[in-house]
Amino acid sequence: MDVVTQAKQAMDSWHRGQTSAHFETGGRGPGHVSTGRGDHGGVSYGSYQYATNVGGVDEYVAASRYGNRFNGLQAGTPAFTERWKEVAAADPAGFARDQHDFIQHKYYDVQMGRLKDVGIDLSGRGAAVQDALWSTSVQYRGMTRSVFQKGLQQAYGEDFKLTELSDEQIVRAVQDYKHANVQVHFQSSPTLWDSLRDRALTEKTALVGLARYDQVNHNPEAYRGKDYQQAFGEPEPSQRGQRAAASAMADGVLAPGERGTEVQALQAKLIQAGHTGRNGQPLTADSHYGANTEHAVREFQQAHGLTVDGKAGRQTLQALDTAVREHTPAQPVAPAAPAP
């Protein structure tokens, strides 16, 4: 299918918070209740999984127009759970909207303001960044500002310029930071660490896809007649398996924010080809695709007539292999041993 058509369909059906709702409950709706097993937060409720043990569900009920339906009931008990499901069954659309509005005002708007206070103004950003902020505010709550701030700093340097970063770069940095710090952020839920790491990666894939569809939707003529693979050099997100995302090269492209042995090999080749980081800083093969590596890739792409996007796709990697071979001096041939 034409990527312009795909993008229009994706953006026409998008609403803020849909990525979070998918990963919190698999889209099972406002009446969904978790088992709470292995989760420090205990039993969780609704589209965005308000947790019992950290007060999330009590906070919601106290503010909800459905709150009087839960008078005298304690969150986490069978009676409360039964009542929650009854309310959802009686008014699914209204209950869903009420939960959404609560997250908007009590979580999303608050974290948007806290980020703006430290110079990270995301108010004009597109769907992917909005969904990344929404999802993070639901899952990380008061840690949201730190997750965004540290994620962007680790990916693009302490002096990163937000105005120079695309929506895709922002969501990549945030999700990579989440993936790398699961044990720190969720110390009390070790049985969930693997699933939380998987979520960070699969959510990253979904958000990158959303950022690209948003980009296409705003500039359709540049993509007319191309499918997703032709437009971005990799399969569309829905065609990628969850486990494949665990490898940086699973999608055939190395991109800012990614980590791993494939990134280290890329850095080693850039060094061999004589490229440096920003402001002439030496490039180090540290396995992290940060600002210096992106600068070196852009410099290489520009010097070799390639599309300058800062990502190492197949064409860039092939050209780099050729450049390394040409840059490496040929080893002298050992003289033949004298004939006996």
| Cα distance between residue 174 and residue 132, in whole Å | 8
Give strand pairing partners of 51: 44
| Cα distance between residue 139 and residue 192, in whole Å | 13
| Cα distance between residue 115 and residue 131, in whole Å | 15
Query: Which residue is it, tokens 């940086």?
Result: 248
The amino acid occupying position 123 is: S
| Cα distance between residue 73 and residue 54, in whole Å | 17
pLDDT in tens, 100-152: 999 999 999 999 999 999 999 999 999 999 999 999 998 899 999 999 999 99
Other beta carbons within 10 angstroms of residue 194's beta carbon come to: 10
Residue 254: phi and psi, rounded to 5, are: -95, 135
Q: Contact at 8 Å (CB) between 4 and 223? A: yes
Average pLDDT over residues 268-284: 86
Instruction: Provide the 3-class DSSP secondary structure of residue 121.
Output: coil
Mean model confidence pLDDT for the chain = 87
Predicted TM-score (pTM) of this structure: 0.67
Q: Contact at 8 Å (CB) between 54 and 170? A: no
Average pLDDT over residues 201-229: 95
Q: Which range (122-136, 163-177, 197-211, 263-277) has the least confidence?
A: 263-277
Burial class (CB in 10 A: 0-12, 13-18, 19+), 201: buried
Q: Contact at 8 Å (CB) between 2 and 226? A: yes
Residue 44: enclosing H or E segment and its boundaries? strand 44-45
Residue 91 has pLDDT above 90, yes or no: yes
- Which active-site residues does the annotation give? 39
Residue 96 has pLDDT above 50, yes or no: yes
Q: Give, as one character, the DSSP assignment of residue 108.
A: I
Residue 82 has pLDDT above 50, yes or no: yes
Q: Percentage of residues in the chain with pLDDT exceeding 90?
A: 58
Residue 45: enclosing H or E segment and its boundaries? strand 44-45
Which ranges of the chain would DSSP assign to H, the alpha helix? Answer: 3-13, 18-25, 56-63, 78-90, 92-103, 109-117, 127-140, 144-156, 167-180, 182-185, 193-218, 228-232, 261-272, 291-303, 314-327
Give the side-chain half-sphere CA count within 13 A for 219: 6
| Cα distance between residue 220 and residue 245, in whole Å | 27
Q: Name the band, by pLDDT with cuts 50, 70 and 90, for residue 241.
A: very low
Q: Give, as one character, the DSSP assignment of residue 258.
A: -
Q: Contact at 8 Å (CB) between 58 and 76? A: no
Of residues 179 and 28, more confidently modeled: 179
Q: Contact at 8 Å (CB) between 269 and 321? A: yes
Confidence at residue 238, expressed as pLDDT on a 0 to 100 scale: 58
| Cα distance between residue 148 and residue 115, in whole Å | 8
Residue 249: phi and psi, rounded to 5, are: -95, 10
| Cα distance between residue 7 and residue 11, in whole Å | 6
